[in-house]
Structure 1
Amino acid sequence: MNKYFVFVYLIFCVLFSSCITNKDLVYLQEKEGLTAEDLGLIEQPKPYRVQVNDMLSIRVKALDQELVGMFNPVGESGSGSQAGGLYFNGFTVDMHGNIEFPILGKINVLGYTIAEIKEKVETELLKQYFKETAEIFVTVKLAGLKYTTIGEVGTGVHVLLQDRVNVIEALANAGDINVTGDRKDVLIIRQYPEGQRIHHIDLTDIKAMQSPYYYIQPNDIILVKQLKRKALGAGQTAMQNLATVSSIVSLIVSTYFLTRNL
Protein backbone atom coordinates (compact mmCIF):
# COMPACT_ATOMS: atom_id res chain seq x y z
CA MET A 1 0.00 0.00 0.00
CA ASN A 2 2.98 2.30 0.67
CA LYS A 3 3.77 2.61 -3.02
CA TYR A 4 0.27 3.89 -3.68
CA PHE A 5 0.63 6.60 -1.05
CA VAL A 6 4.01 7.60 -2.47
CA PHE A 7 2.42 7.89 -5.90
CA VAL A 8 -0.45 9.98 -4.53
CA TYR A 9 1.99 12.19 -2.65
CA LEU A 10 4.00 12.86 -5.82
CA ILE A 11 0.86 13.78 -7.77
CA PHE A 12 -0.24 16.02 -4.91
CA CYS A 13 3.11 17.89 -4.97
CA VAL A 14 3.16 18.29 -8.74
CA LEU A 15 -0.39 19.64 -8.96
CA PHE A 16 0.00 22.08 -6.08
CA SER A 17 3.25 23.37 -7.53
CA SER A 18 1.28 24.06 -10.70
CA CYS A 19 -1.01 26.63 -9.08
CA ILE A 20 -1.05 30.05 -10.72
CA THR A 21 0.24 32.46 -8.07
CA ASN A 22 0.15 36.22 -7.64
CA LYS A 23 3.70 36.37 -8.95
CA ASP A 24 2.35 35.14 -12.28
CA LEU A 25 -0.54 37.63 -12.38
CA VAL A 26 0.51 40.97 -10.89
CA TYR A 27 1.88 43.57 -13.29
CA LEU A 28 5.02 45.65 -12.66
CA GLN A 29 6.21 44.00 -9.46
CA GLU A 30 9.19 45.37 -7.56
CA LYS A 31 11.75 42.59 -7.97
CA GLU A 32 15.34 42.11 -6.86
CA GLY A 33 15.03 44.97 -4.36
CA LEU A 34 14.24 47.46 -7.15
CA THR A 35 11.47 49.92 -6.25
CA ALA A 36 9.47 52.41 -8.29
CA GLU A 37 11.49 55.20 -6.68
CA ASP A 38 14.70 53.56 -7.90
CA LEU A 39 13.48 53.74 -11.48
CA GLY A 40 13.05 57.49 -11.26
CA LEU A 41 11.40 59.39 -14.08
CA ILE A 42 10.52 57.16 -17.05
CA GLU A 43 11.47 58.93 -20.27
CA GLN A 44 8.89 59.29 -23.00
CA PRO A 45 9.62 57.31 -26.19
CA LYS A 46 11.29 59.00 -29.11
CA PRO A 47 8.96 60.42 -31.81
CA TYR A 48 7.54 57.65 -33.96
CA ARG A 49 8.85 57.39 -37.53
CA VAL A 50 6.28 56.45 -40.13
CA GLN A 51 6.37 52.96 -41.63
CA VAL A 52 4.80 51.22 -44.62
CA ASN A 53 1.01 50.65 -44.28
CA ASP A 54 0.60 53.47 -41.75
CA MET A 55 -2.41 55.68 -42.35
CA LEU A 56 -2.13 59.46 -42.01
CA SER A 57 -4.70 62.18 -41.56
CA ILE A 58 -3.51 65.35 -43.31
CA ARG A 59 -5.62 68.51 -43.33
CA VAL A 60 -4.85 71.90 -44.85
CA LYS A 61 -6.36 75.08 -43.40
CA ALA A 62 -6.17 78.72 -44.44
CA LEU A 63 -7.86 82.06 -43.84
CA ASP A 64 -9.88 81.40 -46.98
CA GLN A 65 -11.06 77.80 -46.67
CA GLU A 66 -12.22 77.72 -50.32
CA LEU A 67 -8.56 77.88 -51.36
CA VAL A 68 -7.76 74.63 -49.63
CA GLY A 69 -11.00 72.74 -50.28
CA MET A 70 -9.41 70.45 -52.87
CA PHE A 71 -6.90 69.15 -50.32
CA ASN A 72 -9.50 68.02 -47.80
CA PRO A 73 -12.26 65.37 -48.11
CA VAL A 74 -15.63 66.72 -49.22
CA GLY A 75 -18.09 67.36 -46.40
CA GLU A 76 -15.57 66.78 -43.63
CA SER A 77 -16.39 68.48 -40.36
CA GLY A 78 -14.04 66.83 -37.91
CA SER A 79 -15.49 63.34 -38.23
CA GLY A 80 -12.59 62.36 -40.44
CA SER A 81 -10.63 61.29 -37.39
CA GLN A 82 -12.80 58.18 -37.19
CA ALA A 83 -10.99 55.09 -38.43
CA GLY A 84 -13.71 54.17 -40.91
CA GLY A 85 -13.73 57.58 -42.56
CA LEU A 86 -9.98 57.69 -42.80
CA TYR A 87 -9.90 54.34 -44.58
CA PHE A 88 -11.39 56.18 -47.56
CA ASN A 89 -10.13 59.71 -46.96
CA GLY A 90 -6.79 59.19 -45.25
CA PHE A 91 -3.35 58.76 -46.81
CA THR A 92 -1.89 55.26 -46.67
CA VAL A 93 1.87 54.85 -46.89
CA ASP A 94 2.54 52.51 -49.82
CA MET A 95 5.26 49.85 -50.18
CA HIS A 96 7.68 52.50 -51.42
CA GLY A 97 7.06 54.80 -48.47
CA ASN A 98 4.99 57.32 -50.45
CA ILE A 99 1.60 58.94 -50.05
CA GLU A 100 -0.40 60.35 -52.95
CA PHE A 101 -1.33 63.96 -52.12
CA PRO A 102 -3.68 66.13 -54.22
CA ILE A 103 -1.84 68.46 -56.63
CA LEU A 104 1.56 67.66 -55.09
CA GLY A 105 1.57 64.04 -56.22
CA LYS A 106 3.77 61.48 -54.48
CA ILE A 107 5.45 62.54 -51.26
CA ASN A 108 7.90 60.20 -49.55
CA VAL A 109 7.23 59.99 -45.81
CA LEU A 110 8.95 56.71 -44.87
CA GLY A 111 11.05 57.16 -41.75
CA TYR A 112 9.83 60.72 -41.10
CA THR A 113 8.26 61.88 -37.85
CA ILE A 114 4.81 63.50 -37.84
CA ALA A 115 6.39 66.93 -37.28
CA GLU A 116 8.76 66.41 -40.21
CA ILE A 117 5.91 65.35 -42.51
CA LYS A 118 3.90 68.44 -41.52
CA GLU A 119 6.85 70.67 -42.38
CA LYS A 120 7.45 68.82 -45.64
CA VAL A 121 3.83 69.17 -46.82
CA GLU A 122 3.72 72.87 -45.88
CA THR A 123 6.97 73.52 -47.76
CA GLU A 124 5.73 71.76 -50.91
CA LEU A 125 2.38 73.58 -50.82
CA LEU A 126 4.08 76.97 -50.59
CA LYS A 127 6.57 75.99 -53.25
CA GLN A 128 4.10 74.62 -55.80
CA TYR A 129 0.69 76.16 -55.11
CA PHE A 130 0.32 78.87 -52.47
CA LYS A 131 1.98 82.14 -51.61
CA GLU A 132 3.12 83.08 -48.13
CA THR A 133 0.17 85.48 -47.84
CA ALA A 134 -2.27 82.52 -47.92
CA GLU A 135 -1.20 81.73 -44.36
CA ILE A 136 -1.84 78.01 -44.69
CA PHE A 137 -1.73 75.68 -41.74
CA VAL A 138 -1.22 71.93 -42.08
CA THR A 139 -2.12 69.32 -39.45
CA VAL A 140 -0.75 65.78 -39.66
CA LYS A 141 -1.72 62.93 -37.37
CA LEU A 142 -1.58 59.17 -37.36
CA ALA A 143 -5.07 57.86 -38.12
CA GLY A 144 -5.24 56.11 -34.78
CA LEU A 145 -2.87 53.50 -33.41
CA LYS A 146 -3.75 50.11 -34.89
CA TYR A 147 -2.47 46.92 -33.28
CA THR A 148 -3.37 43.24 -33.09
CA THR A 149 -3.69 40.98 -30.04
CA ILE A 150 -3.68 37.19 -30.20
CA GLY A 151 -3.32 34.25 -27.84
CA GLU A 152 -4.35 34.30 -24.16
CA VAL A 153 -5.94 37.72 -24.49
CA GLY A 154 -8.92 39.22 -26.28
CA THR A 155 -8.02 38.39 -29.88
CA GLY A 156 -8.61 40.99 -32.58
CA VAL A 157 -7.47 44.12 -34.39
CA HIS A 158 -7.83 47.30 -32.35
CA VAL A 159 -7.56 51.00 -33.08
CA LEU A 160 -6.97 53.60 -30.36
CA LEU A 161 -7.28 57.26 -31.27
CA GLN A 162 -4.15 58.20 -29.36
CA ASP A 163 -0.60 59.09 -30.33
CA ARG A 164 1.05 57.17 -27.51
CA VAL A 165 -0.08 53.87 -25.94
CA ASN A 166 1.84 51.52 -23.66
CA VAL A 167 1.49 47.76 -23.82
CA ILE A 168 -0.54 47.51 -20.60
CA GLU A 169 -3.06 50.06 -21.90
CA ALA A 170 -3.23 48.15 -25.18
CA LEU A 171 -3.88 44.85 -23.39
CA ALA A 172 -6.49 46.44 -21.12
CA ASN A 173 -8.28 47.77 -24.19
CA ALA A 174 -8.30 44.21 -25.58
CA GLY A 175 -9.86 42.81 -22.39
CA ASP A 176 -6.64 42.05 -20.45
CA ILE A 177 -4.61 38.82 -20.38
CA ASN A 178 -6.45 35.70 -19.25
CA VAL A 179 -5.49 34.15 -15.93
CA THR A 180 -3.73 31.40 -17.86
CA GLY A 181 -1.71 33.83 -19.99
CA ASP A 182 2.06 34.18 -19.58
CA ARG A 183 2.70 37.77 -18.46
CA LYS A 184 6.39 37.06 -17.98
CA ASP A 185 7.10 36.58 -21.67
CA VAL A 186 4.81 38.70 -23.83
CA LEU A 187 5.86 38.83 -27.48
CA ILE A 188 5.82 42.09 -29.44
CA ILE A 189 6.06 41.50 -33.20
CA ARG A 190 7.13 44.84 -34.62
CA GLN A 191 7.40 46.11 -38.19
CA TYR A 192 10.62 47.67 -39.47
CA PRO A 193 11.57 48.93 -42.95
CA GLU A 194 13.54 45.73 -43.55
CA GLY A 195 10.90 43.37 -42.15
CA GLN A 196 9.53 42.16 -38.80
CA ARG A 197 11.26 41.35 -35.53
CA ILE A 198 10.05 39.60 -32.38
CA HIS A 199 10.76 41.21 -29.01
CA HIS A 200 10.09 39.91 -25.49
CA ILE A 201 8.90 41.83 -22.44
CA ASP A 202 8.21 40.68 -18.86
CA LEU A 203 5.15 42.62 -17.70
CA THR A 204 5.40 41.27 -14.15
CA ASP A 205 8.66 43.16 -13.65
CA ILE A 206 8.63 46.91 -12.97
CA LYS A 207 11.74 47.19 -15.17
CA ALA A 208 9.41 46.61 -18.15
CA MET A 209 8.66 50.34 -17.99
CA GLN A 210 12.25 50.97 -19.11
CA SER A 211 11.96 48.62 -22.07
CA PRO A 212 12.04 50.12 -25.58
CA TYR A 213 9.00 47.92 -26.29
CA TYR A 214 6.88 49.18 -23.37
CA TYR A 215 5.19 51.66 -25.71
CA ILE A 216 3.62 50.00 -28.72
CA GLN A 217 3.81 51.26 -32.29
CA PRO A 218 1.30 51.14 -35.16
CA ASN A 219 0.83 47.66 -36.63
CA ASP A 220 2.40 45.89 -33.64
CA ILE A 221 1.21 42.35 -32.94
CA ILE A 222 0.99 41.44 -29.24
CA LEU A 223 1.13 37.68 -28.72
CA VAL A 224 0.44 36.21 -25.28
CA LYS A 225 1.40 32.57 -24.81
CA GLN A 226 -0.36 30.23 -22.40
CA LEU A 227 1.33 29.20 -19.19
CA LYS A 228 2.85 25.73 -19.11
CA ARG A 229 0.47 24.98 -16.24
CA LYS A 230 -2.47 25.30 -18.61
CA ALA A 231 -0.76 23.19 -21.25
CA LEU A 232 -0.32 20.46 -18.62
CA GLY A 233 -3.99 20.68 -17.74
CA ALA A 234 -3.41 21.63 -14.10
CA GLY A 235 -5.85 23.76 -12.16
CA GLN A 236 -5.50 27.51 -11.90
CA THR A 237 -5.98 27.64 -8.12
CA ALA A 238 -5.20 25.47 -5.09
CA MET A 239 -8.88 24.57 -4.73
CA GLN A 240 -9.05 23.36 -8.33
CA ASN A 241 -5.91 21.31 -7.83
CA LEU A 242 -7.32 19.91 -4.57
CA ALA A 243 -10.41 18.75 -6.41
CA THR A 244 -8.22 17.08 -9.02
CA VAL A 245 -6.07 15.38 -6.39
CA SER A 246 -9.15 14.19 -4.49
CA SER A 247 -10.51 12.57 -7.62
CA ILE A 248 -7.20 10.86 -8.33
CA VAL A 249 -6.82 9.64 -4.75
CA SER A 250 -10.36 8.29 -4.74
CA LEU A 251 -9.73 6.44 -8.00
CA ILE A 252 -6.45 4.93 -6.80
CA VAL A 253 -7.85 3.83 -3.44
CA SER A 254 -10.91 2.29 -5.09
CA THR A 255 -8.73 0.48 -7.59
CA TYR A 256 -6.45 -0.80 -4.83
CA PHE A 257 -9.26 -2.32 -2.77
CA LEU A 258 -10.94 -3.82 -5.80
CA THR A 259 -7.74 -5.52 -6.95
CA ARG A 260 -6.95 -6.63 -3.39
CA ASN A 261 -10.25 -8.49 -3.08
CA LEU A 262 -9.75 -10.35 -6.34
Structure 2
Amino acid sequence: MRQSTLVLIILLLSIASCVPTSKITYLQESKSTVNDSLMMVRRLQPPYRLQVNDVVNINLYQSADERLTTLFSPASGESVSSAGVNGYGVDLRGDIRLPEIGTVKAIGLTTEELQDKLKDILLEKYFKQEEELFLTVKLAGISFTMVGEVSGTGIQSVQREQVNIIEAIAAGGGVPATGDLTAVKIVRNYPDGVKVHEVDLTTLDVVYSPYYYIQPNDMIVVDPLPQKQIGIGTTGLSAFSTIFSLVGTIAAGILLLTR
Protein backbone atom coordinates (compact mmCIF):
# COMPACT_ATOMS: atom_id res chain seq x y z
CA MET A 1 0.00 0.00 0.00
CA ARG A 2 2.79 2.36 0.91
CA GLN A 3 4.63 1.58 -2.33
CA SER A 4 1.58 2.30 -4.48
CA THR A 5 0.96 5.55 -2.61
CA LEU A 6 4.58 6.58 -3.14
CA VAL A 7 4.38 5.81 -6.86
CA LEU A 8 1.15 7.82 -7.14
CA ILE A 9 2.75 10.81 -5.43
CA ILE A 10 5.75 10.65 -7.77
CA LEU A 11 3.49 10.53 -10.82
CA LEU A 12 1.39 13.46 -9.65
CA LEU A 13 4.46 15.56 -8.89
CA SER A 14 6.06 14.80 -12.25
CA ILE A 15 2.87 15.70 -14.13
CA ALA A 16 2.45 18.93 -12.18
CA SER A 17 6.06 19.93 -12.67
CA CYS A 18 6.45 19.48 -16.43
CA VAL A 19 5.93 22.49 -18.69
CA PRO A 20 2.56 22.48 -20.53
CA THR A 21 2.76 23.09 -24.29
CA SER A 22 0.36 26.02 -23.93
CA LYS A 23 3.13 27.91 -22.14
CA ILE A 24 5.77 27.43 -24.83
CA THR A 25 3.79 27.53 -28.11
CA TYR A 26 3.63 30.78 -30.10
CA LEU A 27 0.45 32.27 -31.57
CA GLN A 28 -2.14 29.74 -30.47
CA GLU A 29 -5.73 30.14 -31.63
CA SER A 30 -7.67 32.29 -29.20
CA LYS A 31 -11.37 32.47 -28.39
CA SER A 32 -11.69 35.84 -30.12
CA THR A 33 -10.22 34.67 -33.43
CA VAL A 34 -11.51 32.12 -35.92
CA ASN A 35 -9.19 29.54 -37.39
CA ASP A 36 -7.89 30.55 -40.84
CA SER A 37 -9.47 33.99 -40.47
CA LEU A 38 -7.81 37.06 -41.95
CA MET A 39 -5.71 38.73 -39.26
CA MET A 40 -5.74 42.50 -39.58
CA VAL A 41 -2.35 43.29 -38.04
CA ARG A 42 -1.89 46.79 -36.70
CA ARG A 43 0.75 47.96 -39.13
CA LEU A 44 -0.16 51.64 -38.78
CA GLN A 45 1.75 52.45 -35.63
CA PRO A 46 2.12 55.96 -34.17
CA PRO A 47 5.05 57.69 -35.90
CA TYR A 48 8.31 56.87 -34.17
CA ARG A 49 10.30 59.86 -32.90
CA LEU A 50 14.07 59.74 -32.88
CA GLN A 51 15.92 59.19 -29.62
CA VAL A 52 19.51 59.26 -28.44
CA ASN A 53 21.62 56.44 -29.99
CA ASP A 54 19.29 56.01 -32.97
CA VAL A 55 21.01 55.71 -36.34
CA VAL A 56 19.61 57.07 -39.60
CA ASN A 57 20.60 56.74 -43.23
CA ILE A 58 20.47 59.96 -45.27
CA ASN A 59 20.68 59.73 -49.07
CA LEU A 60 20.66 62.49 -51.66
CA TYR A 61 19.87 61.37 -55.21
CA GLN A 62 20.27 63.04 -58.62
CA SER A 63 21.77 66.24 -57.32
CA ALA A 64 23.46 68.69 -59.67
CA ASP A 65 26.21 68.97 -57.07
CA GLU A 66 27.98 65.60 -57.25
CA ARG A 67 30.08 66.49 -54.22
CA LEU A 68 27.00 66.66 -51.99
CA THR A 69 25.63 63.48 -53.51
CA THR A 70 28.84 61.69 -52.56
CA LEU A 71 28.82 63.14 -49.05
CA PHE A 72 25.32 61.84 -48.44
CA SER A 73 25.92 58.36 -49.84
CA PRO A 74 25.36 55.39 -47.49
CA ALA A 75 29.11 54.78 -47.22
CA SER A 76 29.72 58.27 -45.84
CA GLY A 77 27.82 57.76 -42.60
CA GLU A 78 29.59 57.40 -39.30
CA SER A 79 30.19 53.81 -38.22
CA VAL A 80 28.19 52.88 -35.14
CA SER A 81 29.77 49.64 -33.97
CA SER A 82 27.58 49.12 -30.87
CA ALA A 83 24.44 49.04 -33.02
CA GLY A 84 26.11 47.11 -35.81
CA VAL A 85 24.92 49.51 -38.50
CA ASN A 86 26.32 52.42 -40.50
CA GLY A 87 24.71 55.82 -40.61
CA TYR A 88 24.42 59.06 -38.69
CA GLY A 89 23.91 58.59 -34.98
CA VAL A 90 21.86 60.81 -32.68
CA ASP A 91 24.32 61.90 -29.97
CA LEU A 92 23.69 62.58 -26.28
CA ARG A 93 22.65 66.17 -27.10
CA GLY A 94 20.06 64.91 -29.56
CA ASP A 95 22.01 66.10 -32.63
CA ILE A 96 23.37 64.50 -35.78
CA ARG A 97 26.54 65.77 -37.46
CA LEU A 98 26.39 66.05 -41.21
CA PRO A 99 29.06 66.95 -43.79
CA GLU A 100 28.83 70.56 -45.05
CA ILE A 101 25.65 71.18 -43.02
CA GLY A 102 27.09 70.66 -39.56
CA THR A 103 25.02 69.90 -36.45
CA VAL A 104 21.28 69.39 -36.81
CA LYS A 105 18.83 68.80 -33.94
CA ALA A 106 17.13 65.45 -34.58
CA ILE A 107 15.80 64.18 -31.27
CA GLY A 108 12.00 64.12 -31.04
CA LEU A 109 11.53 64.30 -34.83
CA THR A 110 10.10 61.62 -37.06
CA THR A 111 12.22 60.56 -40.03
CA GLU A 112 9.85 62.47 -42.32
CA GLU A 113 10.17 65.64 -40.22
CA LEU A 114 13.96 65.34 -40.23
CA GLN A 115 13.85 64.76 -43.99
CA ASP A 116 11.85 67.98 -44.53
CA LYS A 117 14.16 69.89 -42.19
CA LEU A 118 17.27 68.81 -44.11
CA LYS A 119 15.61 69.64 -47.44
CA ASP A 120 14.94 73.18 -46.23
CA ILE A 121 18.55 73.58 -45.10
CA LEU A 122 19.96 72.30 -48.40
CA LEU A 123 17.62 74.45 -50.46
CA GLU A 124 18.59 77.52 -48.48
CA LYS A 125 22.35 76.95 -48.61
CA TYR A 126 23.13 75.07 -51.82
CA PHE A 127 20.19 74.93 -54.22
CA LYS A 128 17.49 77.06 -55.73
CA GLN A 129 14.19 77.04 -53.87
CA GLU A 130 12.32 75.80 -56.91
CA GLU A 131 14.69 72.86 -57.41
CA GLU A 132 13.32 69.47 -56.46
CA LEU A 133 15.51 67.42 -54.16
CA PHE A 134 15.39 63.63 -53.88
CA LEU A 135 16.42 63.27 -50.26
CA THR A 136 15.46 60.32 -48.07
CA VAL A 137 15.89 59.77 -44.33
CA LYS A 138 15.29 56.30 -42.91
CA LEU A 139 16.21 54.36 -39.81
CA ALA A 140 19.40 52.40 -40.45
CA GLY A 141 18.01 49.41 -38.58
CA ILE A 142 16.48 48.55 -35.23
CA SER A 143 18.71 47.71 -32.29
CA PHE A 144 17.28 46.14 -29.15
CA THR A 145 18.43 44.24 -26.07
CA MET A 146 17.47 40.66 -25.12
CA VAL A 147 17.74 39.58 -21.49
CA GLY A 148 16.38 36.84 -19.24
CA GLU A 149 15.47 33.30 -20.27
CA VAL A 150 16.56 33.60 -23.91
CA SER A 151 19.07 31.74 -26.05
CA GLY A 152 21.10 34.84 -26.86
CA THR A 153 21.36 37.82 -24.52
CA GLY A 154 22.77 41.25 -25.28
CA ILE A 155 22.32 43.88 -27.97
CA GLN A 156 20.82 42.63 -31.23
CA SER A 157 20.31 44.49 -34.51
CA VAL A 158 17.97 43.89 -37.44
CA GLN A 159 18.53 45.75 -40.71
CA ARG A 160 14.90 46.67 -41.26
CA GLU A 161 12.63 49.60 -40.48
CA GLN A 162 9.87 47.50 -38.95
CA VAL A 163 10.29 44.38 -36.80
CA ASN A 164 7.69 42.60 -34.68
CA ILE A 165 8.54 41.10 -31.31
CA ILE A 166 8.49 37.49 -32.54
CA GLU A 167 10.94 38.34 -35.33
CA ALA A 168 13.11 40.16 -32.80
CA ILE A 169 13.17 37.16 -30.45
CA ALA A 170 13.97 34.84 -33.35
CA ALA A 171 16.84 37.11 -34.41
CA GLY A 172 18.17 36.88 -30.86
CA GLY A 173 18.22 33.08 -30.87
CA GLY A 174 14.72 32.33 -29.60
CA VAL A 175 13.32 31.35 -26.21
CA PRO A 176 14.04 27.89 -24.71
CA ALA A 177 11.31 25.68 -23.24
CA THR A 178 12.04 27.15 -19.80
CA GLY A 179 11.04 30.68 -20.86
CA ASP A 180 7.61 32.12 -20.06
CA LEU A 181 6.00 33.29 -23.33
CA THR A 182 2.78 34.35 -21.61
CA ALA A 183 4.26 37.48 -19.99
CA VAL A 184 7.09 38.87 -22.10
CA LYS A 185 8.08 42.35 -20.96
CA ILE A 186 9.04 45.23 -23.24
CA VAL A 187 10.97 48.01 -21.51
CA ARG A 188 10.60 51.12 -23.68
CA ASN A 189 12.03 54.63 -23.46
CA TYR A 190 9.69 57.61 -23.76
CA PRO A 191 10.40 61.35 -23.55
CA ASP A 192 8.86 61.37 -20.05
CA GLY A 193 10.67 58.25 -18.83
CA VAL A 194 10.77 54.46 -19.06
CA LYS A 195 7.64 52.29 -19.20
CA VAL A 196 7.22 48.51 -19.02
CA HIS A 197 4.66 46.76 -21.24
CA GLU A 198 3.67 43.10 -21.22
CA VAL A 199 2.56 40.86 -24.10
CA ASP A 200 1.42 37.25 -24.34
CA LEU A 201 3.13 35.58 -27.29
CA THR A 202 1.15 32.36 -26.95
CA THR A 203 -2.05 33.89 -28.35
CA LEU A 204 -2.89 35.15 -31.81
CA ASP A 205 -4.36 38.28 -30.23
CA VAL A 206 -0.83 39.61 -29.73
CA VAL A 207 -0.88 40.88 -33.32
CA TYR A 208 -3.47 43.46 -32.25
CA SER A 209 -1.26 44.77 -29.45
CA PRO A 210 0.21 48.28 -29.84
CA TYR A 211 3.49 46.69 -28.71
CA TYR A 212 3.56 43.94 -31.32
CA TYR A 213 6.13 45.94 -33.27
CA ILE A 214 9.24 46.85 -31.33
CA GLN A 215 11.03 50.18 -31.43
CA PRO A 216 14.74 51.03 -31.45
CA ASN A 217 16.42 50.64 -28.05
CA ASP A 218 13.64 48.43 -26.64
CA MET A 219 14.62 45.87 -24.00
CA ILE A 220 12.87 42.49 -24.27
CA VAL A 221 12.75 40.55 -20.99
CA VAL A 222 11.68 36.90 -20.79
CA ASP A 223 11.18 35.45 -17.30
CA PRO A 224 11.82 31.78 -16.51
CA LEU A 225 8.91 29.45 -15.82
CA PRO A 226 8.38 28.24 -12.22
CA GLN A 227 9.70 24.81 -13.25
CA LYS A 228 13.06 26.41 -14.07
CA GLN A 229 13.09 28.50 -10.90
CA ILE A 230 12.68 25.45 -8.63
CA GLY A 231 15.05 23.32 -10.69
CA ILE A 232 12.60 20.73 -12.04
CA GLY A 233 12.84 19.36 -15.58
CA THR A 234 10.85 20.83 -18.44
CA THR A 235 9.48 17.52 -19.74
CA GLY A 236 7.54 14.80 -17.96
CA LEU A 237 10.44 12.35 -18.27
CA SER A 238 13.06 14.72 -16.90
CA ALA A 239 10.73 15.86 -14.12
CA PHE A 240 9.93 12.24 -13.23
CA SER A 241 13.63 11.38 -13.13
CA THR A 242 14.42 14.35 -10.90
CA ILE A 243 11.56 13.71 -8.49
CA PHE A 244 12.18 9.93 -8.44
CA SER A 245 15.81 10.51 -7.54
CA LEU A 246 14.83 12.98 -4.82
CA VAL A 247 12.17 10.68 -3.34
CA GLY A 248 14.55 7.74 -3.52
CA THR A 249 17.20 9.65 -1.63
CA ILE A 250 14.69 10.67 1.05
CA ALA A 251 13.35 7.11 1.34
CA ALA A 252 16.85 5.71 1.70
CA GLY A 253 17.59 8.23 4.41
CA ILE A 254 14.42 7.31 6.31
CA LEU A 255 15.24 3.59 6.11
CA LEU A 256 18.73 4.18 7.48
CA LEU A 257 17.36 6.24 10.36
CA THR A 258 14.66 3.69 11.28
CA ARG A 259 17.00 0.70 11.39
TM-score range, shorter chain: 0.7 to 0.9
Q: Conserved in 1, the CA contact under 8 Å of 2:18 and 2:235? A: yes
Question: Which of these residues, 110, 115, 120, is aligned with residue 113 of structure 1?
Answer: 110
Aligned twin of 2:219: 221
Aligned twin of 2:169: 171
Structure 1 runs (4+) deviating above 6 angstroms are 85-89
> In structure 2, do the counterparts of structure 1 residues 85 and 194 end up closer, same or farther at CA, with 3 Å as the change threshold?
closer
Q: TM-score, normalised by structure 1?
A: 0.84
Equivalent pairs counted in the alignment come to: 257
> Structure 1 or 2: larger helix share?
1
SS in structure 1 of the partner of residue 245 of structure 2 = helix
Q: Conserved in 2, the CA contact under 8 Å of 1:63 and 1:135? A: no
Aligned twin of 1:26: 25
Shift of 1:59: 2.3
Moved more, 211-220 or 132-141: 132-141
The runs of 5 or more residues in structure 1 that have no matched partner are none
> In structure 2, do the counterparts of structure 1 residues 178 and 82 end up closer, same or farther at CA, with 3 Å as the change threshold?
farther
Q: TM-score, normalised by structure 2?
A: 0.85
- Percent identity reads 37
Moved more, 174-183 or 13-22: 13-22
Shift of 1:186: 0.8
- Does 1:181 find its partner at 2:179? yes
RMSD between superposed Cα atoms in Å = 3.0
Query: Deviations 1:152-175 (Å, cap 9, x if unpaired)?
Result: 111121111100000000111111
SS in structure 2 of the partner of residue 184 of structure 1 = helix
> In structure 2, do the counterparts of structure 1 residues 85 and 22 end up closer, same or farther at CA, with 3 Å as the change threshold?
closer
Shift of 1:45: 3.5
Aligned twin of 1:64: 64
The runs of 5 or more residues in structure 2 that have no matched partner are none
Q: Distance in 1 between matches of 2:175 and 2:82?
A: 30
Q: Distance in 2 between matches of 1:36 and 1:119?
A: 44
- Does 1:138 find its partner at 2:130? no
Q: How does 1:1-262 map to 2 (within 5 A)?
A: 2=2, 9-10=8-9, 12-32=11-31, 34-35=33-34, 40-46=39-45, 47-69=47-69, 71-72=71-72, 84=81, 90-132=87-129, 135-153=132-150, 154-260=152-258, 262=259
